Amino acid sequence: MFAEESQWQVGGGDTPTCESCGREVASVHILRLEGAELTRVHVCQSCAEDLVDQTEGTALVFAVPNLLSGLLSRAAKAETEVEKQPGEPTKMCVVCGTTLSDVLETGMLGCAACYEVFSPQLERGLGAGGSSHSHLGKIPGRVAAGDPTQREVLRLRRMLKELVDSERYEEAASVRDRLAELAQHPVEEV
């Protein structure tokens, strides 16, 4: 019964660009039925409004599903141009092996630790830096009650990010192993 919220997939990590203005990221996919003619177009929000206004028939509007990969891709490219040296290896999460290229390709992260490892790209792509985007919903009871396992997991994830950022991969691997160990043997309450 759930509707498919998208009718369009952008593969291969392409950055979807508005087909109308050619500048902005395309965030909207429009299906237009005018008479017997069905056309599809992907455009930015601003161009979408003009296009829908001009449609003499039915215009169905869908959100671009993997807009994220496009936004991340733009953020990553901007970052690369400034910071990355030629031949430098791509950033990778040592817990699950997901690389930045994988994230750009699929729009998906591999594990919870990826949120720390790829946080600069996520923040640029999703605008996560502002306090207005901080989490306001339900909090797991264990976090609220100060569960020792949860606290330790959060601490280790932050440590993992710092180690990956400073390219101390051996130490990062031991933190990864400690995280895996915690899944099997939670910390005992003292």
Of 27, 17, 131, nearest to 77 by C-alpha is 17
Backbone angles phi, psi at 178, to 5 degrees: -65, -40
Instruction: Determine, following the binding rule CB under 8 A, whether residue 146 of this chain makes contact with other proteins.
Output: no
Site for other proteins in 116-145 (CB under 8 A): 122, 126, 128, 132-143
For other proteins, give the closer residue by CB, 51 or 163: 51
Instruction: Determine, following the binding rule CB under 8 A, whether residue 40 of this chain makes contact with other proteins.
Output: no
Q: What number of other Cβ atoms are within 10 A of residue 33's Cβ?
A: 13
C-alpha distance across the termini of the chain, in Å: 48
Instruction: Determine, following the binding rule CB under 8 A, whether residue 26 of this chain makes contact with other proteins.
Output: no
Choose, by CB under 8 A, the member of 18, 28, 44, 163 that binds other proteins.
28
To the nearest whole angstrom, how small is the minimum distance from the Cβ of residue 112 to other proteins?
Answer: 4
For other proteins, give the closer residue by CB, 33 or 78: 33
Name residues whose C-beta falls within 8 Å of residue 122's C-beta, 6 or more positions apart in sequence: 72, 115, 128
Name residues whose C-beta falls within 8 Å of residue 72's C-beta, 6 or more positions apart in sequence: 103, 104, 107, 121, 122, 124, 125
State the residues that interact with other proteins by CB under 8 A: 1-5, 28, 30, 45, 48-49, 52-53, 55-63, 67-68, 95-98, 106-112, 115, 122, 126, 128, 132-143, 147, 149-150, 153-154, 157, 179-180, 182-183, 186
